[in-house]
Amino acid sequence: MSKLKITENTDLFKCPICSSKMNIVDEKSLICLNNHCFDLARSGYVNFLTRPVKTDYDKAMFNSRSTISKYGFFDPMIDAITDIIGNVIHNPSSGRMVVLDAGCGEGSHLHQITEKLYSTTRNKFTGAGMDISKEGIQIASRQYPDCIWCVGDLTNSPFMDKKFDIILNILSPSNYAEFNRLITSDGVLIKVVPGRDYLKELRKLLYHQTDKQSFSNEKVLKHFNDNFNLIDSRQIYYNKTMDADILAHLIKMTPLSWSAAEKEINRAVSSINSITVDFTVLYGNRKTS
């Protein structure tokens, strides 16, 4: 199904080498007008990277995020994003709604959002997810074949201009120049950033009396406002009960654990039974010159 989605939406793609348009050939390769070729993997994703990239996000981390997502950890955030999109969408001239998740990881957020959008609006949404981590995209393409999945670099994304009605940027780095290029003239950018209290129980145990115990998203919020017109923002705040197994996956999922001592991680797993979740959801549109 992922290959079919790509075949049906080849107009979204541009060559990351020469920027020319691309065509599907024999249902197995995207080839541009200058014959640069990118093959579709067996599970249906396309790797658009022109050189290998090493990231800190490995298969184990993405599997843990998938487990946490299926546990319902992110559900209130997913519901808020779905509600925002339902309130801001317009009837596109192309006859389709296209959603890009920039920094999609293992794909669970995009899958859940497009599924909920269809169930609440009955509109068909084409979901495209891109991440620089091949490991994340491999999991996404196997688990969620209803979307388009690409390994790609957000600084040189393999998509044509003004193709996306909604761009999602969830707990992931931004590239506002690319967002401005990719989004339609009346499209909406939705960015999710951690709030001050996000995972505060973990911060307290893992980084007690260090500068990592506290967190501020003020610089991120200012950067959004500098680049996009802020329509509104929402705070999503709740507590989630966690047993030891699920908490271990949460710890493995978050970069907070990467520089923490092993004994502190073990202490967190044995002593924490509830986690604070605090997100700020920003949404806005392009600034007019």
Question: Of 113, 30, 86, 81, which Cα lies nearest the Cα of 234?
Answer: 81
To which residue do tokens 């298969």 refer? 59
63 pLDDT more than 80: yes
Residue scoring higher pLDDT (14 or 51): 14
Q: Can you give the residue ranges of every domain in the chain?
A: 2-286
For 219-229, the pLDDT digits (tens) are 889 999 999 99
10 Å Cβ neighbour count for 168? Answer: 25
For 97-112, the pLDDT digits (tens) are 899 999 999 999 999 9
* End-to-end Cα spacing for the chain: 40
Whole-model pTM: value is 0.93
Which superfamily does 2-286 belong to?
Answer: Vaccinia Virus protein VP39 (3.40.50.150)
